[in-house]
Structure 1
């Protein structure tokens, strides 16, 4: 083989390898986007489920306090459940908005920035729900007792206040854990699909660095 023929063959091979590298990179990018979309779809479905639960609590609590206007403690139970339902709705909607902003057609750096914003929002939302949830079982329990014709407040106000005190202690413990162990709380707040997204983004970044 002549020298010029060898050079031509080498250039052809080099161009073919470069083209294959580009195609492989595009294939990996499509595969990455597909996997991420599937993962975030699960997270999105979870938020829609939370919206359904929040709507149920909001309607239930709202109708309960409205039906018992004039009875202070029953109105208080209903308002508490109503407010918790609204909190569930609001946090789920906020997270859905952030989820919709994640575009895997963008660069990994841009996706990471969006996921970081999502992470911060998720942690703030979880703080609200953890603290509220630590107390919310009390009015739910009192309403449940009313369904079996037991008015705990009328029978023994200290029983209600005692349970409320336990709930407040649990809320304080939750707040303390968030403050003293932010990494532990963040890990639990980001558990599930969002944690999987973060891991895959970290793996991609490690391969590129």
Structure 2
């Protein structure tokens, strides 16, 4: 009889311990999910700002090139900056879609996959939006000179700027490839972390805490 009572007490203790672990996991999940959501909030609003800025720039540059169809240089400059502004909008929309499609009610693994897609976008696609500015600074300067002074920039700017821009473009591509080679993985990871942003890193760390607790 004493042995049966001991087994019953042991089973009761084990059941209570399991319930306690489940409650602790639930509380940890709720707090870390809230932390992950809060960490991504600045990123969301940052993309909203980028979307608004992209829209304003698109309208502005569209009005510029429409008003300067009589000048090939200004027309091309306006069209190039218009196209880049549209790219700014597309990038913001894509990132906002990735952010809004994260379902925090789903299993942690599913949320982690959503964050991985967001990370890949921010580290492999979005950074290239700044690459064209090795050359786009010249059309932008041409537009600025027309707005401010009503005069075109000197042709020497293109003669000097285009070779420098192409060289900078190629150097940036080489640098990216060089830093992402296996033997320099730590350098590439550091660059990717910077492009991903601290908010995304904090969100991933919060979810990792849940996974570690589940494995213990």
Identify whether the pair has TM-score above 0.5, normalized to the shorter chain.
Answer: yes
Q: Provide, for residues 82-110 of structure 1, a one-character-per-residue CA deviation record: whole Å limited to 9, x for no partner.
A: 11110110011111111122222222222
Aligned residue pairs total 207
Shift of 1:134: 3.0
Residues of 2 paired with 1:159 and 1:49: CA distance? 32
Report if the CA contact (8 A) 1:127-1:178 is conserved.
no
Give the 5 Å matches for 1:5-84: 7-84=7-84
Report if the CA contact (8 A) 1:177-1:185 is conserved.
no
List gaps (5 residues or longer) in structure 2: 181-187
Larger RCO (CA within 8 A; separation ≥ 6): 2
Partner of residue 167 from structure 2, selected from 166, 169, 181: 169
Taking structure 2 as the reference length, the TM-score comes to: 0.83
List gaps (5 residues or longer) in structure 1: none
Report if the CA contact (8 A) 1:130-1:174 is conserved.
no
Report if the CA contact (8 A) 1:130-1:171 is conserved.
no
Structure 2 vs 1, CA of residues 18 and 206 (structure 1 numbering), >3 Å: closer, same or farther?
Answer: closer
Residues of 2 paired with 1:72 and 1:141: CA distance? 15
Residues of 2 paired with 1:146 and 1:102: CA distance? 45
Partner of residue 188 from structure 1, selected from 162, 186, 194: 194
Question: What's the counterpart of residue 100 of structure 2?
Answer: 100
Residues of 2 paired with 1:78 and 1:85: CA distance? 10
Residues of 1 paired with 2:148 and 2:50: CA distance? 28
Q: Does 1:199 align with 2:205?
A: yes
